[in-house]
Amino acid sequence: MNLMYDEDTQRWFYQNPFSQTTVCKCEDCGLYYKPILGHRCKKGVKRGGKG
Q: What is the pLDDT of residues 3-33, one digit of tens each?
A: 899 999 999 999 999 999 999 999 989 999 9
* Residue 48 pLDDT > 70: no
Q: Where residue 40 falls among pLDDT bands split at 50, 70, 90?
A: confident
* Integer CA distances (angstroms), 18 to 2, 13, 21, 30, in order: 16, 8, 10, 24
26/18 Cα distance (integer angstroms): 24
Average pLDDT over residues 34-41: 91
